């Protein structure tokens, strides 16, 4: 069977292309060629840890990084198993390993279990309260691939899934001030809706043809304003979270770099240029770091 070239948004082209074809298929199935996904899963974990005052818990941060890589991969494998028929009908996804038939669904399930096993090792490093919170995401993860079939806003469901780590990181450090972590989580959800709407711009034509729903299609010509609105809501909730931890205006200054970063994305977004949305989407890896530093500043100087 013909081996594919790496997809257009692959980043680790050199590393993945060096693998034997069979192993390359499994690496691509877990999206190891596209690390942006696990960065976006990882950063909210760090936000929860840092805002909770866990700046000394670098062991926890490293475990959560390992868990983010493994569980993002597991989620991608599960998504590709469920979406194989749809993926075959979309140009950007037609060559994915399961959709193309290079990896059978049985083999994909086995790979999924291996990745979940790594996630289990990470889970066991947490205290039991954080373990329960982490397990609470399972239902959300299982339901996500079906959302694009029943709602125009699958990005909202993804937001709940992809930012769940903020709750886990917080509860591992502390169990009080739930108003702060609640606001941080809500802001993270709107951030995710914004950046995944940008990502969905790449597939608007194919999605419309095969009946896949997305916020990018729903917003139509107002997509830039929509993304701006989501980012504004994210910043508003993050401001509430920071205020709950440090109730003075000085703490809110820490959000200014993040506001500038997200504002740049909105102002420079060109929905008609395929490369432009991909670049803006990827820049959220850097935005995640900027927000992590803001959480560290406020969490390190906030209430105890």
Host H or E run for residue 173: helix 165-173
Q: Looking at residue 6, what is its pLDDT?
A: 47
Look at 197 and 201; give whichever has higher pLDDT.
Answer: 197
Tell me the pLDDT tens digit for each residue of 237-293. 999 999 999 988 888 999 999 999 999 999 999 988 878 999 999 999 999 999 999
**Contact call for residues 281 and 195 (beta carbons, < 8 A):** yes
Residue 176 DSSP symbol: -
Ramachandran quadrant class, 220 (left: phi over 0; alpha: psi -120 to 50; beta: rest): left
pLDDT more than 70, % of the chain: 91
Tell me the pLDDT tens digit for each residue of 25-61. 899 899 988 899 999 999 999 999 999 999 999 999 9
Q: What is the mean pLDDT of residues 108-120?
A: 95
Tell me the pLDDT tens digit for each residue of 127-182. 999 999 999 999 898 888 888 778 878 888 999 999 999 999 999 999 999 999 99
**Contact call for residues 101 and 1 (beta carbons, < 8 A):** yes
Q: Looking at residue 210, what is its pLDDT?
A: 59
Q: Looking at residue 271, what is its pLDDT?
A: 87
**Contact call for residues 166 and 184 (beta carbons, < 8 A):** yes
Q: Looking at residue 108, what is its pLDDT?
A: 93
**Contact call for residues 187 and 235 (beta carbons, < 8 A):** yes
C-alpha angle 144-179-172 in degrees, rounded to nearest 5: 70
| Per-residue confidence band for 197, with pLDDT thresholds at 50, 70 and 90 | very high
Q: Looking at residue 192, what is its pLDDT?
A: 96
Q: For residue 126, give the 3-state DSSP assignment.
A: coil
């Amino acid at each position: 069977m013909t081996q594919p070239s790496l997809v257009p948004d692959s980043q680790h082209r050199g590393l993945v292309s060096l693998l034997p074809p069979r192993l390359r298929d499994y690496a691509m199935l877990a999206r190891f060629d596209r690390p942006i996904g696990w960065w976006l899963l990882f950063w909210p974990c760090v936000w929860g840890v840092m805002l909770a005052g866990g700046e000394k818990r670098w062991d926890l941060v490293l475990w959560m990084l390992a868990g983010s890589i493994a569980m993002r991969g597991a989620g991608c494998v599960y998504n590709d198993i469920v979406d194989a028929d749809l993926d075959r009908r979309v140009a950007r996804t037609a060559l994915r390993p399961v959709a193309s038939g290079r990896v059978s669904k049985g083999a994909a399930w086995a790979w999924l279990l291996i990745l979940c096993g790594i996630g289990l090792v990470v889970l066991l490093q947490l205290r039991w309260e954080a373990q329960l919170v982490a397990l609470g995401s399972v239902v959300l993860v299982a339901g996500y691939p079906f959302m694009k079939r029943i709602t125009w806003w699958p990005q909202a469901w993804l937001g709940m899934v992809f930012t769940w780590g903020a709750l886990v990181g917080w509860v591992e450090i502390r169990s009080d001030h739930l108003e702060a972590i609640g606001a941080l989580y809500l802001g993270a959800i709107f951030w995710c809706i914004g950046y995944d709407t940008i990502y969905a711009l790449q597939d608007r034509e194919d999605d419309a043809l095969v009946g896949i729903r997305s916020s990018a299609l729903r917003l139509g010509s107002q997509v830039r304003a929509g993304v701006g609105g989501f980012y504004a809501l994210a910043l508003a909730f993050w401001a509430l979270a920071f205020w709950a931890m440090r109730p003075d205006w000085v703490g809110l200054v820490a959000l200014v770099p993040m506001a500038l970063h997200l504002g740049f994305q909105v102002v420079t977004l060109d929905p008609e240029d395929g490369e432009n949305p991909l670049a803006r989407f990827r820049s959220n890896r850097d935005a995640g770091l900027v927000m992590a530093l803001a959480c560290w500043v406020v969490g390190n100087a906030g209430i105890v």
